[in-house]
């Protein structure tokens, strides 16, 4: 084993920080989080105000340009996004190469990565205009790509974007419209989807965002860097939490089994945890959850899902956890995934699409973080160090001499 003292002497002191829990990998002006106080801000604006007063596209503009737009700037931005919502017909052929039952995130990783083949040689990331058009293309195309992944899994024809609709209404329509049934989303459902997108737009240096920055730091094509971010998001420890909420609600099955599961959640010898409760960063309250709870109640009412057993269980769990000493003492409040899981399920979105919707929302965060990194003076390739713990140099033995 290597002599650690000698190593330090030769290479100087450095930090070992598994998971980067105390090491900042970059400076950023996009998002501020104070987990203890339950604060999340984008460019200085609180997430509660943005979710209440803004739209997802306006938040995209804010993250991208650094300021809220004037009406004229916003009209131009919406026009620019609208010009890029279609994807090339050749790109749509990629879907048919996947198994019919492929996870939609597998399609997202592949198809977004494939965008790099469409915008490659002509893309000069050192040119600010090219970086800007990359932001517009990604924000515009990602709902089209996600909705097509859903349609492919259903075996239904793709629905083309309708630029007369708002961003979220268009996304819902591309998912749910069919040639035999015109789908008109309820305004409450559109607003709830828009809020889910706003609340997931950026969350500083989480695993997928760090992945996009690291992949992009080698000056790789930004579409492929975002595809790497989608891969990182796919994992259950990152984007899969709201899917886990729905699995848990289905496992509980009937309201009379709730006490049994609450008991299991409290048992230190049982690995079971109430999914959608607690947060690694927000230790008092998840500011995004507060906002989404309101949309959750509204959606359950307008779609008439409140009486379904699964949603009754959800509401009962919420009530118990907010009153039970175990959860209060440990500050285990319902988190954003708890409410987003319920909303998405109530509006008819299958659980395997939940992470795709997260990817749609987070695309603006990924690409603006990428842009911020590329625009940094002296931008350098990301290259974490390691602490080697293996063998020191040893002689090679021919295979005939190995015991």
- Our CA angle for 349, 331, 307, nearest 5°, is 35
Q: Which of 194, 202, 286, 337 is catalytic?
A: 337
In contact, 2 and 392? CB cutoff 8 Å? yes
Nearer to ligand ACO, 210 or 221 (CB): 210
| Shortest CB 277 distance to ligand ACO, Å | 4
**Residue 280 engages ligand ACO in binding (rule: CB under 6 A):** yes
CB atoms within 10 A of CB 105: 24
In contact, 161 and 85? CB cutoff 8 Å? yes
Nearer to ligand ACO, 62 or 275 (CB): 275
Active site residue 279: yes
CB atoms within 10 A of CB 158: 16
Number of residues this chain uses to bind ligand ACO (CB under 6 A): 15
Residue 355: name the closest of 271, 267, 242 by CA: 242
**Residue 365 engages ligand ACO in binding (rule: CB under 6 A):** no
Q: Any idea which residue has 């230790």 for tokens?
A: 283
**Residue 335 engages ligand ACO in binding (rule: CB under 6 A):** yes
Residue length of the chain: 403
Nearer to ligand ACO, 33 or 114 (CB): 33
Nearer to ligand ACO, 173 or 208 (CB): 208
Active site residue 202: no
Nearer to ligand ACO, 69 or 278 (CB): 278
Helix and strand element counts for the chain (H, E): 18, 3
Between CA 191 and CA 183 the distance in angstroms is 16
Provide the phi-psi class of 204: left if phi over 0, else alpha when psi is between -120 and 50, else beta. Answer: left
CB atoms within 10 A of CB 391: 8
**Residue 278 engages ligand ACO in binding (rule: CB under 6 A):** yes
| Shortest CB 145 distance to ligand ACO, Å | 24
**Residue 330 engages ligand ACO in binding (rule: CB under 6 A):** yes
Between CA 304 and CA 311 the distance in angstroms is 11
**Residue 362 engages ligand ACO in binding (rule: CB under 6 A):** no
**Residue 54 engages ligand ACO in binding (rule: CB under 6 A):** no
Per CB under 6 A, contacts with ligand ACO among 217-246 are 241
| Shortest CB 233 distance to ligand ACO, Å | 11
**Residue 273 engages ligand ACO in binding (rule: CB under 6 A):** yes
Residue of minimal CB distance from ligand ACO? 278
Q: Which stretch binds ligand ACO (CB under 6 A): 4-12, 109-117, 220-228, 269-277?
A: 269-277
Nearer to ligand ACO, 111 or 252 (CB): 252
**Residue 38 engages ligand ACO in binding (rule: CB under 6 A):** no
Q: Which stretch binds ligand ACO (CB under 6 A): 104-112, 228-236, 327-335, 387-395?
A: 327-335
What letter would DSSP give residue 283? S
| Shortest CB 369 distance to ligand ACO, Å | 17
Residue 10: name the closest of 388, 268, 329 by CA: 388
Q: Which of 202, 203, 279, 286 is catalytic?
A: 279
Residue 169: name the closest of 293, 294, 311, 57 by CA: 57
**Residue 265 engages ligand ACO in binding (rule: CB under 6 A):** yes
Between CA 378 and CA 113 the distance in angstroms is 27
| Shortest CB 6 distance to ligand ACO, Å | 36
In contact, 359 and 262? CB cutoff 8 Å? no
What letter would DSSP give residue 158? P
**Residues recognised as catalytic:** 279, 337
Residue ranges binding ligand ACO (CB under 6 A)? 241, 265, 268, 273-280, 330, 332, 335, 337
């Amino acid at each position: 084993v290597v002599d650690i003292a000698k190593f330090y002497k030769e290479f100087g002191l450095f930090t070992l920080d598994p998971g980067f829990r105390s090491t900042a990998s970059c400076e950023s002006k996009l998002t501020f989080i104070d987990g203890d106080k339950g604060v999340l801000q984008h460019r200085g604006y609180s997430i509660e105000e943005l979710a209440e007063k803004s739209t997802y596209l306006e938040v995209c503009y804010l993250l991208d340009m650094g300021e809220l737009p004037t009406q004229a700037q916003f009209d131009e931005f919406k026009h620019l996004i609208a010009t890029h919502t279609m994807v090339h017909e050749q790109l749509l052929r990629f879907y048919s190469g996947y198994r019919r039952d492929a996870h939609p995130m597998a399609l997202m990783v592949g198809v977004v990565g494939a965008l790099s083949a469409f915008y490659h040689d002509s893309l000069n990331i050192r040119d600010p205009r090219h970086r800007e058009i990359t932001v517009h293309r990604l924000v515009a195309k990602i709902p089209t790509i996600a909705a097509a992944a859903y349609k492919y899994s259903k075996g239904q024809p793709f629905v083309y974007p309708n630029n007369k609709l708002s961003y979220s209404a268009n996304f819902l329509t591309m998912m749910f419209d069919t040639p035999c049934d015109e789908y008109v989303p309820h305004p409450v459902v559109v607003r709830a989807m828009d809020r889910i997108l706003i609340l997931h737009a950026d969350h500083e240096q989480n695993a997928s965002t760090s992945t996009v920055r690291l992949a992009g730091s080698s000056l790789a094509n930004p579409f492929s860097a975002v595809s790497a971010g989608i891969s990182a998001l796919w994992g259950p420890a990152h984007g899969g939490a709201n899917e886990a909420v729905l699995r848990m609600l289905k496992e509980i099955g009937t309201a009379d089994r709730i006490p049994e599961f609450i008991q299991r959640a409290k048992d230190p010898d049982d690995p079971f945890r109430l999914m959608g409760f607690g947060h690694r960063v927000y230790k008092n309250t998840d500011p995004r959850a507060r906002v989404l709870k309101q949309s959750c109640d509204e959606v359950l009412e307008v779609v008439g899902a409140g009486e379904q057993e699964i949603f009754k269980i959800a509401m009962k769990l919420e009530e118990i956890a907010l009153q039970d000493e175990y959860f209060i003492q440990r500050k285990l409040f319902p988190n954003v995934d708890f409410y987003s899981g319920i909303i998405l399920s109530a509006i008819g979105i299958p659980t395997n699409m939940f992470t795709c919707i997260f990817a749609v929302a987070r695309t603006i965060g990924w690409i603006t973080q990428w842009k911020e990194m590329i625009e940094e003076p002296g931008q350098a390739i990301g290259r974490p160090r390691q602490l080697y713990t293996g063998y020191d140099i040893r002689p090679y033995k021919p295979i005939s001499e190995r015991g």
